[in-house]
Amino acid sequence: MGALATAVRTRHDHHLRLIQARATSDELFQILRDEAFYERPIAERHRVIFYLGHVEAFDWNLLGQRAFGLRRFHSSFDQLFAFGIDPVGGGLPTDQPGDWPSRAEISEYKLHLRTQLDSAIDRALEHPSEGHPQLLTMLDTAIEHRLMHAETLAYMFHRLPVDKKKPVQTQDHWSTSRIQHRLVEIPEGPATLGLPADDSRFGWDNERCALTVRVPAFSIENHNVSNRQFMHFVQNGGYRERSLWTSEGWAWREQNAIEHPVFCIAAEIFGIIGHVCGTAFADGAAGLCKPCGSIRVCKVARSKAAERRAIHRAAYGVPDSDEQRGYPWGEQPPAPQFGNFDFAHFALRRAELTLTV
């Protein structure tokens, strides 16, 4: 295959993946009943309606504006839906449902910008010299951004009452074979997080400025803690046993009268018997570390930052060396057999609430 044909093929694959990512986010929003779109399931976040516009405006601002220089057709929406950041200064957002545009207006905006973007991408498909020189990276960014939001929206939708969502028809029934847990010893060594500021590879803004730290020796389990294990912890009184918690975690539990992870559900949901746990850090610090009396990652992870460093050290450290691997599995580029890249298998599954114990 010639260079031109390869370039066209590569662009075509990216366009296809963008279309698939749109289908994923569209399908996720279809779970919600009309009245749910103006809810704010998490106090610190925007109302759901913001994200409906945000995933589209992000693509438009990045691709429509920067990659193709297309003419703006709805500047106020481009700006309104541009940023999904937490409120500044620790306060909670105070906007009201009436402050936001209607779904019909956002749908119109979405359709119009997708049509324009698709024809610009189609033109660039046939003429690889068209569009920004970094077009493929920009497409990758748009795809990853949308799928990241699909995942975070899925856990936001968990927080909505069941009657705000529509039943999902599915025959899926997840079950896994029983796994053998064991502890793996990780020797003391370095962990480097993030990319150097001048690294030309793509990185999100919070991944810049590499930081190398020494991580003390610790043990970590070979598998994630399972829903079954966490359910046992809850059922055996883990949320009433002060000695299992850090001072900060216990204060948080007391203050909020927490009796189980915030969306740990064991009930019949949409006709499916399911059991799902999503834990906050404090739940995890207590529940994952002590119920079996073993020394787990929490021995060095007294904070989220320490936990990240320890997990990074376990994933990237080369045994008996201060070297670090390019990827947790070695140096080969990411591929489906190494992990769930592009969140391909996860977002909708989470939304369906059908994990089984």
**Sites of contact with Fe ion (CB under 5 A):** 84
Buried b (16+ CB within 10 A) or exposed e, 143-154: bbbbbebbbbbb
Position of minimal CB gap to Fe ion:
84
Question: CB 3 → Fe ion: shortest distance, Å?
Answer: 34
SS3 annotation, 178-237: CCCCCEEEECCEEEEECECCCCCCCCCHHHECCEEEEECCEEEECCCCCHHHHHHHHHCC
By C-alpha distance, which of 260, 272, 182 is closest to 227? 260
- At CA 222, angle to CA 218 and CA 228, rounded to 5? 115
> Which residue do the tokens 């973007």 mark?
117
The smaller minimum CB distance to Fe ion, of residues 149 and 164, is found at 149
Residue 106: count of CB within 10 angstroms of its CB: 23
The smaller minimum CB distance to Fe ion, of residues 41 and 128, is found at 41
The smaller minimum CB distance to Fe ion, of residues 84 and 128, is found at 84
Give the C-alpha separation, 133 to 148, whole Å: 24
Cβ-in-10-Å burial (0-12, 13-18, 19+) of 304 comes to exposed
| Phi-psi domain of 302 (left: phi exceeds 0; alpha: psi -120 through 50; beta: other) | alpha
Please say whether the dihedral angle defined by the alpha carbons of residues 83, 23, 206 and 58, taken in this order, is positive or negative: negative
The smaller minimum CB distance to Fe ion, of residues 84 and 101, is found at 84
Question: CB 211 → Fe ion: shortest distance, Å?
Answer: 24
Question: CB 153 → Fe ion: shortest distance, Å?
Answer: 10
Question: CB 250 → Fe ion: shortest distance, Å?
Answer: 34
The smaller minimum CB distance to Fe ion, of residues 58 and 316, is found at 58
The smaller minimum CB distance to Fe ion, of residues 150 and 310, is found at 150
**Helical spans, DSSP H, in the chain:** 3-29, 48-59, 75-80, 103-126, 135-158, 227-235, 247-255, 281-287, 304-316, 347-352
The smaller minimum CB distance to Fe ion, of residues 24 and 227, is found at 24
Question: CB 54 → Fe ion: shortest distance, Å?
Answer: 6
The smaller minimum CB distance to Fe ion, of residues 84 and 216, is found at 84
Question: CB 18 → Fe ion: shortest distance, Å?
Answer: 15
Residue 15: count of CB within 10 angstroms of its CB: 18
Q: Please, are residues 53 and 80 in contact by the beta-carbon 8 Å criterion?
A: yes
Question: CB 29 → Fe ion: shortest distance, Å?
Answer: 15
Q: DSSP label at 69?
A: -
The smaller minimum CB distance to Fe ion, of residues 148 and 295, is found at 148
Question: CB 53 → Fe ion: shortest distance, Å?
Answer: 11
Question: CB 226 → Fe ion: shortest distance, Å?
Answer: 31
Question: CB 47 → Fe ion: shortest distance, Å?
Answer: 15
SS3 annotation, 25-54: HHHHHCCECHHHHHCCCCCCCCCHHHHHHH
The smaller minimum CB distance to Fe ion, of residues 20 and 152, is found at 152
CA separation, residue 30 to residues 23, 283, 348 (Å)? 11, 31, 11
